[in-house]
Chain A
Amino acid sequence: MRVLIVDDSRLARMALRKALPPALSREVTEAASGSEALRCIEGSRFDLMFLDLTMPDVNGYELLKTLQDTGRMLPTIVVSADVQTLAVERVIKLGAIALVKKSFRSSELDQVLVRAGLL
């Protein structure tokens, strides 16, 4: 499974990569911004994207909207510190599978992946 991690923080990308189950950690690409993620998606096929919402150029909402509008949506799990009820509702409406709160445990991520049929 080819995985794309999109987050402007290197720490967050490292933490997520470390938390990934072995089945998902073999082919991982990292993007440090929404615009870099768009370039990755244009150039390669990914089976799953982990997406931060708060990024300085193209934020997570904008990236989801662009992918939805252009028919390029891929299975996406939002990983964000922003856990407002409305934030969860909005990302789901924009096509994300789930929102996982940052500083999660590996077991929490596994549960979301199992529920989504990705593990």
Chain B
Amino acid sequence: MTPLLLSEEKRDALRELVNIGMGTAAAALAAALGTFVELTSPGLEVTDRGSVAKQLDTGAWRNSEIEAVRQPFFGAFTGESVMLFDRPAHAELAGMVGYGPESAVVEQQEVLLDVANVVIGACVNGIAESLAELVSFAPPTRLGTRADVRAFLSREAVAWQQGLIVNVDFKLEARSFLSRVLVFLPEPSMLRIDQALSRLLDGLAAG
């Protein structure tokens, strides 16, 4: 199948919609964690399934222990989202919501589920709401570690060939950790987003 490649103009528009969603996520996280959240411009790329797995072996993620949360979404467009955290994120985030350094793994994972729920929701809703579309979410669940992410990415049951990869760097003041949001969209969803972006851009150009 020929991959659907968004034009540069549409990628710019999609990046901006994600950016708007991430602003909402930052405000929610800042309120919950009691700190200022520094945002960087989200990186966005459309790629195939195999390339996503390879990216986990490069850069800062290469030697990181990974904890991943998964959250599917449904509605106007359907897809899978995964949020990855590196090891320092567990204790850092748990500490910020009041768990002590001795907090149980299950408590730390619960915090990651909450954070992923906010960030993934804002990211996907940022796209959907701006395109006047509606999506709903399954509850976030723990996907597991690096090996589990690999297994997930290689499963044929994941109905997508292309992935919209959104790289979001969160920096909490005086603390930092790696986190990354992956949004996977099957071909029909990509097509629907492409069409909605056309309407959005045409509307602006007509004004």
B16 touches which of A9, A56, A85 (Cβ 8 Å) = A9
A15 touches which of B9, B41, B204 (Cβ 8 Å) = B204
Any A CB within 8 A of the CB of B90: no
- Tell me how far the C-beta of A6 lies from the nearest C-beta in chain B, rounded to whole angstroms: 13
Q: How many Å lie between the Cα of A85 and that of B201 in the bound state?
A: 31
Using known A-B contacts A9-B16, A82-B23, A102-B20, determine if residue A14 contacts B204 with beta carbons closer than 8 Å: yes
Question: Interface code B21-63, partner A: CB below 8 Å = 1, 0 otherwise?
Answer: 1111011001100001101110000000000000000000000
Q: How many Å lie between the Cα of A30 and that of B104 in the bound state?
A: 51
| Residues of B contacting A54 in the complex (Cβ-Cβ under 8 angstroms) | 19, 23, 39-41
Q: Residue of B at shortest CB range from A57?
A: B41
Chain B: residues with Cβ within 8 Å of the partner, total of 27
Using known A-B contacts A9-B15, A54-B19, determine if residue A84 contacts B27 with beta carbons closer than 8 Å: yes
Q: How many Å lie between the Cα of A11 and that of B16 in the bound state?
A: 7
| Residues of A contacting B19 in the complex (Cβ-Cβ under 8 angstroms) | 9, 54, 81, 102
B-binding residues in A (CB < 8 A)? 8-12, 14-15, 18, 53-56, 80-87, 101-103
A-binding residues in B (CB < 8 A)? 9, 12-13, 15-17, 19-24, 26-27, 30-31, 36-37, 39-41, 130, 200-201, 204-205, 207
